[in-house]
Structure 1
Amino acid sequence: MSKGAGTHCVSSWTFRRLEPAWSLSATWIGARTRIRTGTEPLKKTLADIDRATLRGRTVLVRTDLNVRIESGRVLDVQRIEASMPTLTTLHEAGARTVVLSHMGRPQGRPSPDLSLASVAAYLGDRLGRPVLFVRDAVGQGGENAIFALGDGEIALLENTRFHPGETVNDPELAATWSGLTDLFVNDAFGAAHRAHASTVGLARAVTARGGDAVAGLLMARELEFLGEALESPERPFVAILGGAKISGKIDVVEALLPRVDCLLIGGAMANTFFRAMQLATGESLVEENRIDMAGELVEAAGDKLTLPVDCVVARDISPDAQTRVVARAEVGDMDRIVDIGPETRALYRSIVSSARTVVWNGPMGVFEIPAFAAGTVEVARALADACDEGALGVLGGGQTASAAAQAGVVERLSHVSTGGGASLALLAGAALPGVESLSDREYDRWL
């Protein structure tokens, strides 16, 4: 077995600044720190806009209000609440705010169950005043409603993905929206890794007309925390990756290995690593076509990679399934790995408690079922304890955020990201089109 698959990184912290084998290609925004990509200037944010100029001004804001709704009731408000600072700022400044967002994947046509009407009602309750819901998001009726907005009023347009031009970044669709404003605020970090008409297209259309496209307060905060963790981490720097598949995180693993002091793996993606180490995984989920890649990563990682040393297994993925704890080398033919075991939980807690910077994406097991949630909850609590001691703890991904909420530790973490795919893209060193398309700051200063 490779050293890197064991527990060696517990006692082999390297405090020297590692020379990365990669370079960040994303354009960072820092609300407290100046973070650059080479000579790329910082981007403008809403904080750069003179508040006095906002009264009576129509401002388009792209948010990420892609939340779960059931029977007209919003079930998960994290993304909505994260957008509130930007919306409240514009409302209090007297701007005429027009909000755009997507929800789900309606394939370019209206779908009643993916309407944003319920979100408009929630926003109205949250703001203490009605939010106009505009179903005709690109027609004359919608334009008339928007132009009739008063100072400080807010309108929410229907799901941008109801239009086939949205996901293909149709310039005509973007131009239609850009005709409403000379100020576009992109606050949708969760969609920043996608070049869509309401993100990249709208930013380019507004700036082409001489307007500004700026980052919202949430976007700036997201990039501040992720940028701080990746650009100048206080060490030891630990990354935790979990979830179902290794395929979506290979680039992340490769990008993080030169930067972190320790990389902890959990969730079903650990199973593919186990198979690469010639360990049995029973009936567990394994990506057969990624086994060789996992083996290469184990060899390349050396001491930095830590995999579970024991597992919780069950015969069925169900709430009433019987579970048992086995060493990772003792998984039976009919077993399904559903969580990390108690020895691994203690090991991961020990590593996290020694860290000064921690980035976490992906649960440690099938946390939606209480009997399989102990590993994910323990990691969440360990991260919260580390943050209480002054560590920087950044969590990304919808499932991971839900797990932190389940553990009751959200308020104790440094930052809970609203963007799963976007945060993974940044961890992998990828550029974010939604950020790159924003206006450059014309001068260099501290925010």
Structure 2
Amino acid sequence: MENIKTVSDFNFKNKIALVRVDFNVPVNNNQSSQVIDDTRILYSLPTIQKIISDSGKVVLISHFGRPKGKCSKIYSLKFIISYLSKRLKIPIQFSENCIGKAVEKKISELKNREILLLENIRFYKEEEEGDENFAFQLSKLGDIYVNDAFGVSHRTHASITIVPKFFREKKCIGFLMEKEIQSLKKVLGKGIAPITILLGGAKISSKIAIIENLINLVDYLLIGGAMSYPFIKAQGGKIGNSLVDEYKDFEALKKIIEQYQKQKKTKIFFPKDVIIANSFKNSAKTKIVPIHSIPNGWMGLDIGPTSIKNFCEIINFSRTILWNGPLGVFEFQNFSSGTTSIAKAIVRATENGAFSLVGGGDSIAALKMKKYETKISYLSTGGGAMLESLKDKILPGIKAIIS
């Protein structure tokens, strides 16, 4: 990983850079498709600007949404053109196609310091299938391949893992990818103790391997949100009608807890109390109960005051913090206290010198609701990719660059 090439290792003068970016940004749903959160675009601009300043040519590849291999106006990337042009202060050309003679002709006419944005790569089913021939057709469009799409680098899609094969030594990562890798190293590789990882959200099945891998690597593992309920159930607790992921191997969860209890380094904590409701809505009747004693007909929608106090105390004295996933249904004001309190505690710890890394759409959305996003050390552009990195695996997109 130390020897991975970045855009800094190349001079792009008179070269065509085929840059895989992640412009899959949230937009409003009216016809104007205005960008609601431009974090991913902003983080990719330095890479594009580097290539342009070298007098290179840029061909941008991105996906947007899940069109499932079919062309759709709803998922067209055309809306990005004016936004990108305004940010870079240069005109952006657009191609309706990603492969074929028409796009090859447009690229042959590109001048130095010009940018061509290709249409949504997922309009081609071959992208998600990782099709070799499709990848070869894409590879013909550039001289140097650049991966700056951390958010999808855990996918084995054609533009992420197959296209780089055709570039041999002429491939690298962009500045966004470099920052993501460095930030993750600051947590697990070179993190200053105490290191705390906080996992929330609903999908426990995608985080089992992470939880197993973190034993003996971090000092504190805090588990909250909906993913805490299967663990409570595995220990014999009553969770009422609380949300439980499709993961049903409660014996495996019990064994994980036992593994944590046997070793001395990593301490695992679950909420002690929760705010429960008799229906899934903001106006529902609520009460605070121990997490092991949620009555039937009631569901946990937020962590309780004792849990907030316990989690925040650990965060306050932590020197390295990673957070992924909300602690409750923060979209409902009456069940947002846990998530916003945690966000505030992480901001406070960061101000006191801790390194904080936050990833995942919901976690970042919670920060932005309180305008805390600029008070965190680093916001990751890929929740899923960040979590995959915690499984002690090299992401497929990074592996494709170094192999």
Return the TM-score normalized by structure 1: 0.85
Q: Using the TM superposition, name which of 119-128 and 387-396 deviates more.
A: 119-128
Contact 1:116 1:159 in 2 (8 A): yes
- Give me the whole-angstrom Cα distance separating, in 2, the residues matched to 1:388 and 1:192: 31
Secondary structure of 1:248's counterpart equals: coil
Question: Among 417, 427, 431, which residue is 2:380 paired with?
Answer: 417
Distance 1:290 1:268 in 2: 16
1:67 corresponding residue in structure 2 = 25
How far did 1:180 drift? 2.1
Aligned to 1:278: 236
* Distance across 2 between alignment mates of 1:178 and 1:90: 18
> Which residue is equivalent to 1:313?
276
Structure 1 letter corresponding to 2:178? A
Query: Aligned-pair distance for 1:439?
Result: 4.5
Identity %: 36
Residue 101 of structure 1 deviates from its aligned partner by 0.8
Residue in 2 that maps onto 1:291: 250
Letter in 2 for 1:49: F
Distance, in Å, in 1 between the alignment partners of 2:162 and 2:231 is 40
Q: Does residue 169 of structure 2 align to residue 238 of structure 1?
A: no
AA of the residue aligned to 1:291:
F
The residue type equivalent to 2:298 in the other structure is: D
- Correspondence 1:194 to 2:155: yes
1:59-208 equivalences under 5 Å are 59-69=17-27, 70-71=29-30, 72-207=33-168
AA partner of residue 134 (structure 1): S
Partners in 2 of 1:370 and 1:47 — Cα distance?
46
Long gaps (5+) in structure 2? none
Q: CA deviation at 1:162?
A: 0.9
Secondary structure, counterpart of 1:124 in structure 2? helix
1:5-84 pair list within 5 angstroms:
28=1, 35=2, 42-50=3-11, 54-69=12-27, 70-71=29-30, 72-84=33-45
Aligned residues: 395
Contact 2:59–2:142 (8 Å) recurs in 1: no
1-side partners of 2:232 and 2:370: how far apart? 28
Give the aligned partner of residue 248 of structure 1.
206
Q: Secondary structure at the match of 1:289?
A: coil
Deviation at residue 337 of structure 1 after TM alignment: 0.6
Root-mean-square deviation over aligned CA pairs? 1.6
**Dislocated runs of 4+, deviation >4 Å:** none
By relative contact order (CA 8 Å, sep 6+), the higher-ranking structure is: 1
Does the CA contact (< 8 Å) of 1:242 and 1:267 recur in 2? Answer: yes
- CA distance in 2 between partners of 1:316 and 1:373 (Å): 16
1:376 maps to a residue whose letter is T
Name the residue aligned to 2:295: 332
Cα pair 2:100 2:137 within 8 Å, conserved: no
Partners of 1:181 and 1:206 within 8 A in 2: no
Closer, same or farther: CA 92–397 of 1 in aligned 2, 3 Å = same
Counterpart amino acid of residue 299 in structure 1: E
Deviations 1:391-413 (A, max 9, x none): 11111212211122123211111
Q: Per the alignment, in what secondary structure is the counterpart of residue 76 of structure 1?
A: coil
1:269 equivalent to 2:230? Answer: no
